[in-house]
Structure 1
Amino acid sequence: MQTVDWLWLLHPALAVVLVYPLLGMVLRLAQQTRDRRLNQAKLPPTVGRDHADLGQWLATSVVAIVLIALGVVIATKHPLGAFEGGPFRLLLLLLVLAGSVGALVALGRVKQPLYRATFALLCWAGVLALGMQPEVFRLSDNPFSLAFWQSHFWGGAGLTGLMLFSVACRPEIHKHLRWRRWHLSANVLAALIFLAQGISGPRDLLEIPLGWQKPAVYACDFQAQRCPTPAPSAAP
């Protein structure tokens, strides 16, 4: 494997090692928090705070590894010397990436609802802007096609939005029943998307060849599922 192949493994490796274990803990604490609130179990009062804290870690991790994946894909699709659009486009994309990271950091620090909503939307807009670049593979951009709903990228984009929403409205979730219901609905949907991402991610990994294999693999006709006949090897 070449260096670029290891870079492409960062996103799935971080998802397996960090995100999915956190997801399991957050879901377990969510159930315990609900049971304690409904007096269905005698649990320590810290379960609610632990659920919120780990939930924020989960959301931040999801957004961070999505940004890492987009940055790696855009930077390694072609050599930087032959980067499409030249240095100006590269600088613009770096600014979008830096702005998205800055908005994510600021989201965890600001208190006012307007600022939280603003930074969450800015971060999500940055993710979408990076994801719409031609270097990023997407099965389809048409929401009326089945391929769109099977796309790993669009599932990740929706999941990122749901995670940012949960972080942005954390104080309101603690104070208001209506917000808790919105939070519950959003995170049931998020859990289903996590499940779908766990399937579509390995599927896409099977379709990505190693760097030295790409010229041969991309010479194939993917529609007809046929590859050129290899030239006969020279006699020893």
Structure 2
Amino acid sequence: MQSVDWLWLLHPALAVVLVYPLLGMVLRLAQQTRDRRLTQAKHPPTVGRDHADLGKWLAGSVVAIVLLAEAVVIATKHPISSFEGGSSRLALMVMVLIGSGVALAALWRVKQPPYRASFALLCWAGVIGLGLQPEVFRLSDNPLDPVFWQSHFWGGVGLTGLMLFSVACRPEIHKHLRWRRLHVSANALAAVIFLAQGISGPRDLLEIPLSWQKPAVYACDFQAQRCPTLAPSPAP
């Protein structure tokens, strides 16, 4: 494996090592928080706060890993010296990446609802804007196409939006039953998407060849599932 191949492994490795263990803890604390509120179960009084704090870290980790994956794909698709669009487009992509990171950091700190909503939308817009670049592979951009709903990329975009929504609405979730119910519904959907991402991610890894294998693999006809016949190796 070359260095570029290790860069491509950062996204799935961080997801396995960081995101999914956090997801398990957040789901467990969510169940304990709900039990304590509804059935007066004898869970520690800190479970609600721990659930909110770890949920915030889970959301931040998801957004950061998605941004990292998009940055790696865009930067390694072609050599930087022959980057499509030249230095001006490269500078724009870097600005969008940095701006998305700044918006995420600001979302963690601001208190007023308009600011929280604005920074969440700005961060999500940055994720979508980077993901729609031609270097980023997507099965389809048409929601009417069945493969659109099997896309690891669009699943990640939807998951990112749900995570940002949970962070942006955290104070309202604590105060209002209606927001709490919306939070539960949104995160039930997020749990389903996490499961789907755990399946589509390994599927996509199987389809991505190592950098030195790409010329041979991409010479194949993927529709017919046939590769050109290789010339016999010369006799030693």
TM-score tier after normalising by the smaller chain length: over 0.9
CA distance in structure 2 between the partners assigned to 1:63 and 1:195 by the alignment: 17
Displacement after TM superposition at 1:44 (Å): 1.4
One-letter identity of the residue aligned with 1:19: V
Displacement after TM superposition at 1:94 (Å): 0.3
Asked if 1:171 is matched to 2:171, the reply is yes
Counterpart position of 2:16: 16
Partner deviation per Cα, 1:189-219 (whole Å, 9 max, x = no partner): 0000000000000000000000000000000
Counterpart position of 2:231: 231
Q: Runs of 5+ in structure 2 lacking a partner? A: none
Partner deviation per Cα, 1:22-81 (whole Å, 9 max, x = no partner): 000000000000000013411111000000000000000000000000000000000001
CA distance in structure 2 between the partners assigned to 1:158 and 1:40 by the alignment: 34
One-letter identity of the residue aligned with 1:74: I
Counterpart position of 1:56: 56
Displacement after TM superposition at 1:95 (Å): 0.3
CA distance in structure 1 between the partners assigned to 2:233 and 2:47 by the alignment: 66
CA distance in structure 1 between the partners assigned to 2:235 and 2:165 by the alignment: 64
Counterpart position of 2:219: 219
Displacement after TM superposition at 1:147 (Å): 0.5
* Match runs of 1:1-236 below 5 Å: 1-236=1-236
Q: How many pairs align? A: 236
CA distance in structure 2 between the partners assigned to 1:108 and 1:67 by the alignment: 17
Q: Runs of 5+ in structure 1 lacking a partner? A: none
CA distance in structure 1 between the partners assigned to 2:28 and 2:150 by the alignment: 28
CA distance in structure 2 between the partners assigned to 1:82 and 1:226 by the alignment: 31
Partner deviation per Cα, 1:88-136 (whole Å, 9 max, x = no partner): 0000000000000000000000000000000000000000000000000
CA distance in structure 2 between the partners assigned to 1:96 and 1:21 by the alignment: 29
One-letter identity of the residue aligned with 2:229: T
Could you tell me the TM-score, scaled by structure 2's length? 0.99
CA distance in structure 2 between the partners assigned to 1:168 and 1:41 by the alignment: 29
After the TM superposition, list the runs of 4 or more consecutive aligned residues in structure 1 that deviate by more than 2 angstroms.
Answer: none
One-letter identity of the residue aligned with 2:26: V
CA distance in structure 1 between the partners assigned to 2:233 and 2:29 by the alignment: 60
Displacement after TM superposition at 1:175 (Å): 0.3
